[in-house]
Amino acid sequence: MKSSGSSDCATSTSWHRDCLQVANKPGPGQISRELCTVDRVAPPRAPRALWHSLRGLTEFRRLLELRAVSQFGDGLFQAGLAGAILFNPERQAEPWQIAAAFAVMFLPYSVLGPFAGALLDRWDRRLVLIGANLGRLVVVLLVGVLLAFGIGDVPILCCALIVNGLTRFVSSGLSASLPDVVPRDQVVTMNSVATAVGALAAFLGADFMLLPRLVVGADDTGAAVVMFIVSLPVAFALWLSVRFGPHVLGPHESKRAIHGSVFYAVSTGWVHGARTVLAVRPVAGTLAGLAAHRMAFGINTLLVLVMVRHTDNPDLTGLGLGTAVVFVAAGGTGQFLATVAAPAVIARFGRYATANGALGFAVAVQLVAISLQMPVLLGCGFLLGAAGQLVKLCADSAMQIDVDDALRGHVFTVQDALFWIAFVLAIAATAAVIPADGRSPGLVAAGAAAYLIGLGLHAAVASPKRG
């Protein structure tokens, strides 16, 4: 299989490809590159043809199974942790504590991830997935023990940080490996399939958490039981990781590979990842739009969490958790439907127009939410989930098609860092000004402004007219 960053840009009568020559002055770890930007992708195949394609892609099906099981466990873990910390009658959390919890869980890895991402482009990704899943299993069990003994929030959040970091590492590894197990002209379609399956699995995992919580209770003991249940899909993901052959998932040697010691590769991981992002305009533009979406999503998330926790009629699951789950489910449903539709939409309009349209639509939807009525917020959550997912899939496609395999792991970890840093910073800023009942139209307007800025940056940076 040819490297995805190869300059050999084969043309096809069934789809349109624009080849852009991007010349960069070589610097440390930076190499002149010739990039092929796929603006429009192959039209999506009929379900039967798609099924036949999946049957013929054995390694991709294994990757799909691993993604599904891993994200089911992640959805269950995240929902279980939210129930244990944010919606636990034994552990009351104020807005600033919620923001602090998110910061502890996601910021440290987001800063360190792009350094570690160099390992995805240096070591056999199969071994990285095995090691990360093994680490997840051990720490998830430890979280369950800490909850069972009623230990305070700080040790639990520190362990959750490790679990989330390893989970993000697995997620980045799976995304970076996808182009190594599917034909180049099917990358966008199969990425949509993988994303849809993963999103559905995470949604089912989060919803499944409600069952043991209702059976064993919402206290620390019930939360511990949920964590021990999480260990089952994580152990299964570990077993699925072992099934791949050596080096099947890459990385593969190319002229753009980063050579030198492991220390050099890791210490310069941020540099190589950031340089690659800035050198590939479709990647830089879509990541700017994605960061804007995550900031708006962070604002909306804290608004809803505070509002449901201060309702006069908390639902049966306690402290508004059921309402919060419905909000998350609405966004997840929108993401799933957008993932299914993405190949057809991108084939029809191209990546650039699709991302622009999604961000412009998000501005309008965010403004509709300014009424702060819960039914309206749920509907807006659904639509914003769909819009944000289209932007993310455009970003994924740019990274999988326009970035060389030897640097793809770097770029995916930079995306993951930007993804969570934008989210946490938005929540922290919101926590500083949000009223006690969460009702702040000004914060909703701030989310619309974030989307508008993201639209402007994407339209300017990723424009095909800029050669």
pLDDT at site 406: 78
- Report if residue 52 sits inside a domain: no
Q: CB 237: neighbour CB atoms within 10 A?
A: 28
DSSP 45-77: PPHHHHHHHHHH-HHHHHHHHHHHHHHHHHHHH
Task: Name the residue with tokens 């049966």.
Answer: 316
The pTM score is 0.73
Report the percent of the chain where pLDDT is more than 90: 45
pLDDT at 400 over 50: yes
Pair 331, 382: CB distance under 8 Å: yes
| pLDDT digit string, tens, across residues 185-197 | 888 888 889 988 9
Helix (H, G, I), strand (E, B) or coil at 221: helix
Q: φ, ψ for residue 36 (rounded to 5)?
A: -105, 115
pLDDT at site 316: 41
C-alpha span between 290 and 296 (Å, rounded): 10
- Report if residue 5 sits inside a domain: no
Q: In 447-462, which positions are buried (b, 16+ CB within 10 angstroms) versus exposed (e)?
A: bbebbbbbbebbbebb
The residue among 277, 266, 275, 292 whose CA lies nearest residue 356 is 292
Rounded alpha-carbon distances, angstroms, from residue 449 to 81, 199, 383:
31, 27, 17
Amino acid residing at 253: E
Name the residue with higher pLDDT: 224 or 217: 224
- Report if residue 410 sits inside a domain: yes
The residue among 109, 49, 177 whose CA lies nearest residue 421 is 109
- Report if residue 51 sits inside a domain: no
| pLDDT digit string, tens, across residues 74-116 | 999 998 888 887 776 666 667 887 888 788 777 877 887 777 7
CATH of the domain at 93: 1.20.1250.20
Pair 118, 241: CB distance under 8 Å: no
Q: What is the mean pLDDT of residues 127-142?
A: 96
pLDDT at site 38: 43
| pLDDT digit string, tens, across residues 408-452 | 888 888 888 898 899 999 999 999 999 988 899 999 999 999 999
Contacts of 435 (CB under 8 A, 6+ apart): none
Tokens for 81, please give them.
Answer: 């942790």
- Report if residue 10 sits inside a domain: no
Q: Where do the H-state alpha helices sit in 178-209?
A: 187-208
pLDDT at site 12: 35
C-alpha span between 98 and 173 (Å, rounded): 29
| pLDDT digit string, tens, across residues 281-333 | 999 999 999 999 999 999 999 999 888 877 645 544 445 566 777 888 889 88
Residue 27, strand partner residues: 30
Pair 101, 86: CB distance under 8 Å: yes
pLDDT at site 363: 98
Helix (H, G, I), strand (E, B) or coil at 329: helix
- Report if residue 4 sits inside a domain: no
- Report if residue 2 sits inside a domain: no
Task: Name the residue with tokens 């929108």.
Answer: 334
DSSP 10-39: --BTTB--EEEEE----BTTB--EEEEE--
- Report if residue 393 sits inside a domain: yes
The continuous run of DSSP H or E covering 369 comes out as none
Q: Residue 294's domain spans which residues? A: 18-46+58-271+280-461
pLDDT at site 259: 64
Q: CB 413: neighbour CB atoms within 10 A?
A: 32
Tokens for 464, please give them.
Answer: 């095909």
Amino acid residing at 270: W
C-alpha span between 459 and 245 (Å, rounded): 42
C-alpha span between 84 and 32 (Å, rounded): 50
pLDDT at 381 over 50: yes
Number of domains in the chain: 1
Contacts of 436 (CB under 8 A, 6+ apart): 306, 310
